[in-house]
Chain A
Amino acid sequence: MHPILKLLVQRIALGLLLLLAVSAVIFLGVEALPGDTAQAILGQSATPQALENLRAQMGLDQPALTRYFSWLGGVMTGDLGKALTNGVDIAQAIGQRLGNTLFLAGCAAAIAVPLALILGAVAARYAGRWPDKVISAVTLTTISLPEFVAAYFVIYLLTIVFPVFQPVAIVFPGMSFWAKLQAVALPVIVLVMVVLAHMMRMTRAAILNVMQSAYIETAELKGLSPMTIIWKHAFPNAIAPVISVVAINLAYLVVGVVVVEVVFSYNALGQYLVDHVTKRDLPVVQAVGLIFATVYIGLNIIADVTAIIANPRLRHPK
């Protein structure tokens, strides 16, 4: 078997084991939270009798282990179950929201990744001079703002002062692609602001690291232009660390943007998860948790494998 294929299989198997562990941890975590679904639903209006009825109806009177394994059995056979709170089919509800999550993450990544690489290369080209300083200062400022502050800032600037976009980013089936893009414009801007600096700094650092090598000196002596040297000779050798940082940021765009979703009322997975954690709706929390874990693990596997492919020394081990 090709060593890379073998590695891939190993990683995926390990990933599946990790997912199992994650599901157990999520289950324990939600169990450990004070109160249960019945109490969370009834809230201020809970009476002992109502609690008992609701628990029996939702199967919460079963022991925790029984509930975990029956859930696990369901997932193995492709059945995520129904939400305890409103009886909506989880797979169906998640399907649409996952699409929205990926749409937002995709739009943000499509802007942020190329922009970060270009800015990183430019900053490396002019290292220590004003373009480098400007790029660093701006991106460090945007990453330092908490997401909700950045979000309020763009809402104020782009819906009140210059009414170009809409503050509420709700998307729904039947919207044209263009209308969807317009709806998510503000959250995309905020997310780009948040993830840009990390990727840009890593690109810059990795390129600068390679720029010290002897072969770059040779290229300079050949009379190549600095940008050509960076793109053709430095960047391919600097790509491994950049890929892993890009992967982390992509994963963040999928799983970590709940604050941005809430501020813009964007109907994606993060808000869905938070609502159901509040209500202790375990099957939903489990399902969304698994999806998030899968995204994280999957992106990390991809990052590792591409880093290996990109490095001849790892690609052809002795």
Chain B
Amino acid sequence: MSEKLDWMVARARAGKMSRREFIGRTTAMGVSAALASALFTKAAMAEPKKGGTIRVGLAGGESTNTLDPALAASVVPQVGNAQWGEQLVDMNPDGTIDFRIGEEVSSSPDSKVWTFKIRQGVTFSDGKPVTAEDVMATFKRHTDENAQSGALGIVKGITDMKAEGDKLTLTLDAPSADLPYLLTDYHLIIQPGGGYDNPNAGIGAGPYILETFEPGVRYVLQKNPNHWDPNMGHADTVEILSINDNTARTAALQSGQVHMMNRIDPKIAQLLAGAPGVEVRRAVGRGHYVFIMHVDKAPFDNNDLRTALKLAVKRDEMVEKVLGGLGSVGNDFPINAAYPLFDDTIPQRTYDAAAAKAAYDKSGHDGSPIILRTAPGAFPGAVDAANLFAASAKEAGIPLQIQLEPDDGYWTNVWNVQPFCASYWGGRPTQDQMYSTAYLSTAEWNDTKFKNAKFDELLMKARAELDDTKRKADYSEMAYIVRDEGGLILPMFNEFVAGIRAAEIGGWIDDPNAEMMNYRAPSKCWLV
């Protein structure tokens, strides 16, 4: 609830919410009217301060990085791009659409044809106006196989694009009620002419203008004086440093060399929270850590064995020991309360040695060791988690054996190749997208090799469904199918754990969409 409250305070502060609306919504959450009124006054008075240099220390940058938004795959380029770039639409922390270059959207009744109105008067950092043609060219480039875009899977369903004046019309191959959500993908930064001439130009319409980019080292960005949105870009300069070493990054925050950092090691989060000047901020996200079984390979083609393994995980213990309590237990389907239309009545699966043993016996497994492959880089704490899993499985009489693999080449040689291994998934903005990416029979990244006709049918039906009640019921049914028949063991959802220098940084909101306030912390925050 406090996240939601934080967000509303920030909206009020940004002038995006009236007093009436603020008080109405906060009292609905159980805040007293007097407190709500006081909060609003305080929020409205806490004006963002302008000027200064915000310095950010981030893990997740390599000297192999580029400025091409299509290729962004780690946090430093994601955050860097979000400063100089602007998207058609973005996500608000409460899961609604934040209209950026696209000012408004409408769809045909069958949700197959979508029309965006393009905001007028917005310019790129080279001075040219942002037009519907630029947006269209950007999407076209991402649909081109040669661009190697990480958003290819999202935009390839667009069969026709048309730019007319300030209108952009997209026609889909199949109905999708979620299209605006799909287009919030971080790769889809609008570039002049779509970035065909030079995808690495770093020219965009964001709140900052790129000054210096050294791959894997740093970004320096200066305020864009012509940015259309007064609620972004408060500091004059943003400096992003790539600091991959946990200790150095933490020390940089503690010593004040940077104002904010990402990925605080769960093991030290509690200690760091007590350090002077430092505040640890947590946002419950949609990302999750998983053990995946290929349901088409022995012995995992046996659902009793899969069920036995699912029952043999001590989820609470894993969240406590691997995530340092900074996370929540999973229920073997990839959706949690951070998604719209989540069904919270689905019973939580817990550790049950007797039931696990019974299912294991029923499966008729010959007793040979079941090999679980893991590596330190599969997810943070993957080796510890696998060992906990093996220990609890042993208690239930299941011969689970860990095989340690090297990080190097893990995603090539183990993941999607070996039948049982540790892995992770970042979340997606909607249930449809998460399921379409990894659980649809034809999905390219179906890493559990899960093929279920009923599930596919429900997914297609829900995608076109505009009635939320019916849609929620469909998603609930799908969740049960994955949970009870799938190859996914999902013991925990992780959190985004960031650190800020609380006395120096204003405007921080815990945003569940992605790390560092959905990558936009440097332009949404200000120096106090």
Contact = CB atoms under 8 A, between A and B. Distances in A.
Contacts of A275: 62-64, 216
A116 to B, nearest CB: 27
Contact of A172 (B217, B254, B423): B217
Interface stretch (A194-202, A260-268, A297-305): A260-268
7 contacts: A39-B412, A46-B412, A155-B251, A168-B248, A264-B248, A275-B63, A278-B62
Contacts of B256: 163
A2 B64 CA distance: 48
Interface of A: 33-35, 39-47, 49-50, 53-54, 57, 83, 85-88, 93, 152, 155-156, 159-160, 163, 166-168, 170, 172, 262-265, 267, 271-272, 275-276, 278-279, 281
Given A54-B148, A263-B248, 5 more contacts: A39-B412, A86-B64, A156-B251, A170-B218, A279-B62
B64 A276 contact: yes
A160 B66 contact: no
Given A34-B412, A44-B411, A86-B66, A50 B145 contact: yes
Contacts of A41: 64, 148
Interface in B385-411: 408-409, 411
Interface residues of B, number: 44
A160 B278 CA distance: 13
Interface in B214-257: 214-218, 241-245, 247-249, 251-252, 254-257
A236 to B, nearest CB: 43
Contacts of A163: 255-256
Nearest to B445: A45
Nearest to B55: A168
A183 B393 CA distance: 50
A35 B414 CA distance: 11
Nearest to A88: B215
B37 interface: no
B245 A262 contact: yes
Contacts of B270: none
B241 A265 contact: yes
Contacts of A43: 73, 411-412
Contact of B243 (A88, A168, A281): A168
B145 A160 contact: no
Given A87-B200, A267-B217, A167 B252 contact: yes
B192 interface: no
Contacts of A263: 245, 247-248
Nearest to B406: A34
Contacts, number: 123
A44 B145 contact: no
B145 A49 contact: yes
Contacts of A50: 145, 148, 152
Nearest to B65: A86
Contacts of A160: 251, 254-255
B404 to A, nearest CB: 16
B445 A168 contact: no
B148 A53 contact: yes
Interface string B196-228: 000010000000000010111110000000000
A155 B73 CA distance: 30
Interface string B121-161: 00000000000000000000000011010101000000000
B427 interface: no
Nearest to A44: B411
B413 interface: yes
Contacts of A42: 148
Interface of B: 57, 62-66, 73, 145-146, 148, 150, 152, 200, 212, 214-218, 241-245, 247-249, 251-252, 254-258, 408-409, 411-413, 415-416, 423, 444-445
Contacts of B145: 49-50, 53
Residue from A46, A50, A152, A167 having most chain B Cβ neighbours under 10 A: A167
Contacts of B251: 155-156, 159-160, 167
Given A263-B248, A265-B242, A265-B248, A87 B148 contact: no
Nearest to A56: B146
A315 B123 CA distance: 73
A49 B156 CA distance: 14
Given A159-B251, A166-B257, A278 B148 contact: no
A93 B62 CA distance: 13
Contacts of A53: 145-146, 148
Contact of A170 (B64, B241, B255, B411): B241
Question: What are the 10 tightest A-B residue pairs by CB atom distance, in nearest-first order?
Answer: A85-B64, A167-B251, A35-B412, A86-B66, A267-B217, A159-B255, A275-B63, A39-B412, A43-B411, A34-B409
A159 B217 CA distance: 21
A78 B120 CA distance: 50
Contacts of B216: 267, 271-272, 275
A57 B423 CA distance: 29
Contact of B252 (A35, A86, A166): A166
A154 B252 CA distance: 13
Contacts of A46: 411-412
B345 to A, nearest CB: 32
Given A44-B415, A170-B217, A172-B218, A265 B409 contact: no
Contacts of A156: 251
A155 to B, nearest CB: 5
Contacts of B415: 44
A267 B216 CA distance: 8
Contacts of A271: 63, 216
A271 B217 CA distance: 10
Contacts of A83: 64
A44 B415 CA distance: 8
A70 B154 CA distance: 38
Given A34-B412, A155-B247, A168-B248, A87 B66 contact: yes
A160 B57 CA distance: 17
A265 B150 CA distance: 27
Contact of A86 (B146, B215, B242, B444): B215
B215 A265 contact: no
B63 A168 contact: no
A124 to B, nearest CB: 38
Given A45-B445, A168-B57, A276 B63 contact: yes
A92 B318 CA distance: 47
Contact of B241 (A45, A49, A168): A168
B265 to A, nearest CB: 13
A168 B239 CA distance: 13
Given A53-B145, A160-B254, A152 B409 contact: no
Contacts of B152: 50
Contacts of A57: 146
B146 to A, nearest CB: 6
A172 B64 contact: no
Nearest to B408: A278
A170 B200 CA distance: 23
Contacts of B252: 166-168
A281 to B, nearest CB: 7
Contacts of A39: 411-412
B66 A265 contact: no
Contacts of A167: 248, 251-252, 255, 257
A156 B268 CA distance: 14
A160 B251 CA distance: 7
Contacts of B244: 262, 265
A166 B409 contact: no
A33 B247 CA distance: 30
